[in-house]
Structure 1
Amino acid sequence: MACSLLERQLTAQAEAFEREGGFTERLYRTRTRTQNRTRP
């Protein structure tokens, strides 16, 4: 049971990584959006 759940979690994380990118890519996108909103 635990192995099945772990495999499902790993699959979901791999799909999210492909779709959304890694931590650094998401952080860059967030920073860029925030900077663009605060600029006059």
Structure 2
Amino acid sequence: MQDKNPYIFHLTAIKWFVSITIKFKAFKVIDFDNLFSSKK
């Protein structure tokens, strides 16, 4: 159990970081598009 935990935690951290980064970038792109559309 102790041998697998660091490996599982490492994978989970990578997946979490990647998913959050993608969602954050997608949100920023959508948000900017909405702002530009509203201004125009």
User: Which TM-score applies when normalising by structure 2?
Assistant: 0.49
Asked which structure has the greater CA Rg, the reply is 2
Q: Which has the higher contact order (CA 8 A, sep 6+)?
A: 1
